[in-house]
């Protein structure tokens, strides 16, 4: 039984729609799972924020979704991930644009479903899992400095794990879904007390849009849009620094391991 890496389906126009649908559905399920747990045990539910359960749902959900949808789209479910893979030339620009649109739409749809599922009181208090900077902990005006650092570092951890296990030649793709899921859980453990641990522009955008809880516009843009992209690009830079341009290899960002007899 030989192991081969399966190339990202979006490279083939005949399978591209399935990749885009996978990104939409996967992001929807990821944001819904996180938002459901965050809303139910937050101030509107249990009366306190259980960071452990929220970090665990990040890890469990992403592991399951990458394992389930990875063979169709690579399981990005995060615009920052897609941008990082675009930077290292592992996804085409046109595909990356559609991926990001699908991810944003999936996140908005997830938040809409949460709005239908939760009572108005809990939804109003918890904002369907929308992230927010803890100004008492994060440095800078309105917590913008500390928030930037934690979101950037968290996404750096996530994307470094992705490129190490699912992109780099020789990476053990059998364990990629688990490693990627655990890296998101770890990153959320670190960042959640400071920023809510969004670690994903789509995950930040969807609930904030539906609950109208963007807060300070500059803080939202810097912490939840710019910081994740910077962290992702730093991970991409590290990948290129360690491995150099690898244009001749047919290893896709979103590769998954398949078994052939």
CATH number at residue 97: 1.20.1080.10
Buried b (16+ CB within 10 A) or exposed e, 82-102: bbbbbbbebbeeebbebbbeb
Q: Is there a contact between 10 and 259 (Cβ–Cβ < 8 Å)?
A: no
* Cα separation of the two ends of the chain: 5
Say how many CA atoms lie within 13 Å of 165 toward its Cβ: 22
Distance CA 120, CA 126 (A): 10
pLDDT for res 13: 40
Tens-digit pLDDT profile for the chain (261 aa)?
Answer: 333 333 343 334 445 899 999 999 999 999 999 998 888 876 545 555 678 888 999 999 999 999 999 999 999 999 999 999 999 999 999 999 999 999 999 999 999 999 888 766 665 556 767 776 765 566 667 678 889 999 999 999 999 999 999 998 877 788 999 999 999 999 999 998 889 889 999 999 999 998 887 878 898 999 999 999 999 999 999 998 886 554 444 444 444 433 333
User: What residue numbers bound the domain in which 73 lies?
Assistant: 2-260
Distance CA 184, CA 131 (A): 15
pTM: 0.84
Own/partner contacts of 117-120, CB < 8 Å, gap of 24 or more, are 117/36, 118/39, 118/40, 118/44
Which residues share a beta bridge with 260?
2
> Nearest-CA neighbor of 203 among 25, 59, 78, 42?
78
Domain count, the chain: 1
């Amino acid at each position: 039984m030989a192991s081969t890496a399966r190339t990202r389906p979006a490279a083939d126009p005949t399978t591209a729609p399935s990749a885009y649908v996978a990104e939409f559905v996967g992001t929807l399920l990821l944001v819904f799972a996180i938002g459901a747990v965050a809303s139910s045990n937050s101030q509107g539910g249990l009366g306190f924020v259980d960071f452990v359960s929220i970090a665990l749902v990040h890890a469990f959900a992403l592991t399951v979704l990458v394992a389930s949808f990875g063979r169709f789209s690579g399981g990005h479910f995060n615009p920052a991930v897609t941008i990082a893979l675009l930077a290292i030339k592992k996804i085409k620009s046109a595909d990356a644009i559609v991926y990001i649109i699908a991810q944003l739409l999936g996140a908005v749809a997830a938040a809409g479903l949460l709005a239908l599922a939760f009572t108005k009181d809990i939804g109003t208090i918890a904002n369907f899992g929308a992230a927010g900077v803890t100004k008492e902990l994060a440095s800078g005006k309105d917590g913008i400095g500390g928030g930037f650092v934690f979101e950037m570092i968290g996404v750096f951890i996530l994307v470094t794990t992705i490129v190490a296990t699912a992109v780099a030649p020789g990476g053990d793709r059998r364990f990629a879904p688990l490693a990627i899921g655990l890296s998101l859980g770890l990153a959320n453990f670190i960042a959640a007390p400071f920023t809510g641990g969004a670690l994903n522009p789509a995950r930040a955008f969807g609930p904030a849009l539906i609950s109208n809880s963007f807060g300070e516009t500059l803080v939202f843009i810097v912490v939840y849009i710019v910081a994740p992209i910077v962290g992702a690009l730093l991970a991409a830079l590290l990948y290129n620094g360690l491995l150099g341009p690898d244009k001749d290899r047919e290893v896709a960002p979103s590769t998954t391991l398949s078994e052939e007899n």
